[in-house]
Amino acid sequence: MKKKVAFHNLGCKVNAYETEAMQQQLRRAGYEIVPFGEPADVCVINTCSVTNMADKKSRQMLHRARKQNPEAVIVAAGCYVQAVGEKMLEDLSVDLIIGNNRKKELAVILDGWFADKKRTAHLADISRIGEYENLALTKTDEHTRAYIKVQDGCNQFCTYCIIPYTRGRVRSRRPEAVVEEVKALAGQGYQEFVLTGIHLSSYGMDLHGDGDFALPGTENPGVLSKNRGGSVLFLLELIRRISRIDGVRRIRLGSLEPGIITEAFAAAIKEIPAVCPHFHLSLQSGCDATLKRMNRRYTAEEYAEKCALLRRVYEDPALTTDVIVGFPGETEEEFARCRDFLGEIRFYETHIFKYSRRRGTKAAAVADQIPEPVKASRSQILQAMNGRNRESYIRRFLGRELEALFEETVLVDGRTWWSGYSREYIRVLYVADHDLSNQILSVRGEQVLYGEYLVVTERPGNHA
The model's pLDDT over 372-416, given as tens digits with 9 standing for 90+, comes to 999 999 999 999 999 999 999 999 999 999 999 999 999 999 999
pLDDT surpasses 80 at 342: yes
Least confident range from 124-133, 183-192, 193-202: namely: 124-133
CB 123 within 8 A of CB 102: yes
Terminal Cα-to-Cα distance of the chain (whole angstroms): 48
CB 391 within 8 A of CB 451: yes
Name the pLDDT band for 211 (thresholds 50, 70, 90): very low
Homologous superfamily assigned to 4-124: Methylthiotransferase, N-terminal domain (3.40.50.12160)
CATH T-level fold of 401-458: OB fold (Dihydrolipoamide Acetyltransferase, E2P) (2.40.50)
Name the pLDDT band for 19 (thresholds 50, 70, 90): very high
**236-254 confidence digits (pLDDT tens):** 999 999 999 999 999 999 9
Q: In angstroms, what is the C-alpha Rg of the chain?
A: 23
Q: How far apart are CA 122 and CA 98, in angstroms?
A: 5
Q: What is the mean pLDDT of residues 417-431?
A: 97
Average pLDDT, the chain: 92
Beta bridge partners of 232: none
Pairing of strands 453-458, 440-449: antiparallel
Give pLDDT, residue 219. Answer: 45
Q: How far apart are CA 31 and CA 110, in angstroms?
A: 11
Dihedral of the alpha carbons of 354, 360, 365, 370, in degrees to the nearest 10:
10
The secondary element (H helix, E strand) that includes residue 151 is strand 145-152
pLDDT surpasses 80 at 459: no
Dihedral of the alpha carbons of 61, 67, 71, 76, in degrees to the nearest 10:
10
Instruction: Tell me the percentage of the chain whose pLDDT exceeds 90.
Output: 88
Give pLDDT, residue 207. Answer: 84
Give pLDDT, residue 38. Answer: 95
Coil/strand/helix, residue 225: coil
Q: How far apart are CA 117 and CA 119, in angstroms?
A: 7
Name the pLDDT band for 431 (thresholds 50, 70, 90): very high
In the chain, where the domains are located: 4-124, 145-395, 401-458
Which among 78, 86, 79, 255 is positioned nearest to 162, based on CA atoms? Answer: 79
Q: How far apart are CA 150 and CA 204, in angstroms?
A: 9
145-395 maps to which CATH number?
3.80.30.20
Q: How far apart are CA 459 and CA 309, in angstroms?
A: 32
Give pLDDT, residue 210. Answer: 42
Give pLDDT, residue 359. Answer: 87
**259-312 confidence digits (pLDDT tens):** 999 999 999 999 999 999 999 999 999 999 999 999 999 999 999 999 999 999
Give pLDDT, residue 396. Answer: 98
Q: How far apart are CA 175 and CA 20, in angstroms?
A: 20
Give pLDDT, residue 1. Answer: 82
Secondary structure (H, E, C), 275-317: ECCEEEECCECCCHHHHHHHCCCCCHHHHHHHHHHHHHHCCCC
Least confident range from 226-230, 393-397, 437-441: namely: 226-230
Give pLDDT, residue 32. Answer: 97
Name the pLDDT band for 343 (thresholds 50, 70, 90): very high
Q: At CB < 8 A and 24+ separation, what contacts does 444-447 make?
A: 444/399, 444/400, 444/401, 444/402, 445/394, 445/397, 445/398, 445/399, 445/400, 445/402, 446/398, 446/399, 447/398
pLDDT surpasses 60 at 225: no
Rounded to 10°, the helix 175-187/232-243 angle is 30
